Amino acid sequence: MYAVTNPSTGEVLAEYPTATDEQVEAAVASATTAYRTWARTSSPAERAELVRRLAQLHRDRQDELAAIIVREMGKPWEHATGEVEFAADIIEFYADNWEKITGDAPLDILGEGSAVVRRTPIGPLLGIMPWNFPYYQVARFAAPNLVVGNTIILKHAPQCPESAAAIQQMCLDAGFPEGAYVNVYASNEQAATIIADPRIQGVSVTGSERAGSAVAALAGQHLKKVALELGGSDPFILLSTDDLDAVVEQAVEARLDNSGQSCNAPKRFIVDESLFDAFAEKFTAAMTGTVMGDGFDESSEIGPLSSLAAAERLEAQVATAVEQGATLVTGGTRDGAFYSPTVLTDVTPDMDVYRQELFGPASVIYRVSGEEEAVALANDTAYGLGSYVYTTDAEQAERVADAIDAGMVYVNCVLADSPELPFGGVKRSGTSREMGLLAADEFVNKKLIRIAG
């Protein structure tokens, strides 16, 4: 089940045995034992220092770590090294801010005496992580929780066993006690067993809507806190600009980041009719001219999709859209796991693709007549992760940002994620926040301590 399969070639490079039930039990027991000392006898400052060492190890091993994920899921080398660096930045952010996420929050009270809210850890947590960002996704879940004092059991995606092992090794090399961070090659059925285990206090899932729904149902059955970071079909609204070439460049860069396999990438381009023709022409030309190739080739701007199955899935979505009446402007071809950058227009609400997430280098461009229609189209989706607004009108930017149903709105910028900024969505895109200080509040006991005067 766990294997490194290079999507550029289809070659299986390494296989890892799925954990036995005894190994799964050992992982839970180890995390539980470690929690008793990790949370109670180590100080937040001591935990933060180990987390800081973990960040540095990411930087020290950047090339080694990047090579692993190019092999595992095919992303271009520049994207891979950038991911490792960003993961290090996120981890370091929580080391730098340990006092803010573990300190008491005094309350103004009506009577005499004092009251504080004290954030304390709750216990071992299970993380179920996806393949598209093997280090970054783990960093934003694990780092704040390790500083707080929780322990982590990590079930990574089956196609990321080598990066999963590398993260655990870095935790050990940084000096974390045995069991503070445990990697386990669990099956879905074993993951369900872990969630049901009374020793596990919460579960975080980043992945598909289907996976999130299944885990949330199971967590609810066992009264476990669950954090969900799921899919997205983010709108990119263009209402006005003084530099269309720059907007197109940013639109293409954001759409093709990570070979188009990013949950918060813009996927629906909603363009005012006054700019539609020029935008569509320039955007299509840039997409068509993108260099596609092996991730280790420095000339490659995008790599293959993460697997043959992923490419076939996207191929089927685009083919169905065309069958239902959409116009294929460019792309729509597949060679193994490589899928050409694709642009669709003339998509209508009765087509399947109108409500789907296209997880790969495929885009839909819509023509709208003004702000009101743009916002209505942007919100006409079950997803609500990120969104992008381009306008030269500052007041319009405020109005549109306020009206969009999404967890994040970026105005006149893309790829602006940063460790201090919370990441998350609404509707079917998720229920929680990662990164920023808000991430550290997901799995803590906000304990009230009231002292009489």
192 & 247 share domain: no
| pLDDT confidence of residue 189 | 96
Phi, psi of 304 (to 5 degrees): -70, 170
To which residue do tokens 């709105």 refer?
409
Q: What is the pLDDT of residues 118-169, one digit of tens each?
A: 999 999 999 999 999 999 999 999 999 999 999 999 999 999 999 999 999 9
What is the spatial distance between Cα 421 and Cα 275, in angstroms, rounded to a whole number? 31
pLDDT of residue 42 exceeding 90, the answer is: no
What is the spatial distance between Cα 21 and Cα 169, in angstroms, rounded to a whole number? 22
Query: Is 372 part of any domain?
Result: yes
- State what percent of residues in the chain have pLDDT above 90: 98
pLDDT of residue 453 exceeding 90, the answer is: no
CATH number at residue 47: 3.40.605.10
194 & 248 share domain: no
The residues annotated as belonging to the active site are: 229, 263
319 & 198 share domain: no
275 & 139 share domain: no
Query: Is 424 part of any domain?
Result: no
Query: Is 412 part of any domain?
Result: yes
CATH number at residue 316: 3.40.309.10
Query: Is 423 part of any domain?
Result: no
310 & 326 share domain: yes
Burial class (CB in 10 A: 0-12, 13-18, 19+), 200: buried
Query: Is 112 part of any domain?
Result: yes
Q: What is the pLDDT of residues 371-406, one digit of tens each?
A: 999 999 999 999 999 999 999 999 999 999 999 999
Listed in sequence order, the residues at least 6 apart from 332 whose beta carbon sits closer than 8 Å to its beta carbon are: 315, 318, 319, 322, 340, 342
Give me the mean pLDDT over the 89-96 stretch: 98
What is the spatial distance between Cα 56 and Cα 16, in angstroms, rounded to a whole number? 27
Report the DSSP beta bridge partners of residue 345.
Answer: 327
144 & 221 share domain: yes
Q: What is the pLDDT of residues 263-276, one digit of tens each?
A: 999 999 999 999 99
Query: Is 425 part of any domain?
Result: no
Contact by Cβ (8 Å): 34, 178 = yes
Q: What is the pLDDT of residues 300-335, one digit of tens each?
A: 999 999 999 999 999 999 999 999 999 999 999 999
183 & 137 share domain: yes
Contact by Cβ (8 Å): 144, 101 = yes
313 & 300 share domain: yes
Listed in sequence order, the residues at least 6 apart from 240 whose beta carbon sits closer than 8 Å to its beta carbon are: 272, 275, 390, 391, 392, 393, 396
Query: Is 312 part of any domain?
Result: yes
pLDDT of residue 352 exceeding 90, the answer is: yes
* Residue range of the domain that includes 26: 2-230+430-451
366 & 401 share domain: yes
Domain count, the chain: 2
258 & 338 share domain: yes
303 & 443 share domain: no
The model's pTM: 0.96
Query: Is 410 part of any domain?
Result: yes
Average model confidence (pLDDT) across the chain: 97
355 & 314 share domain: yes
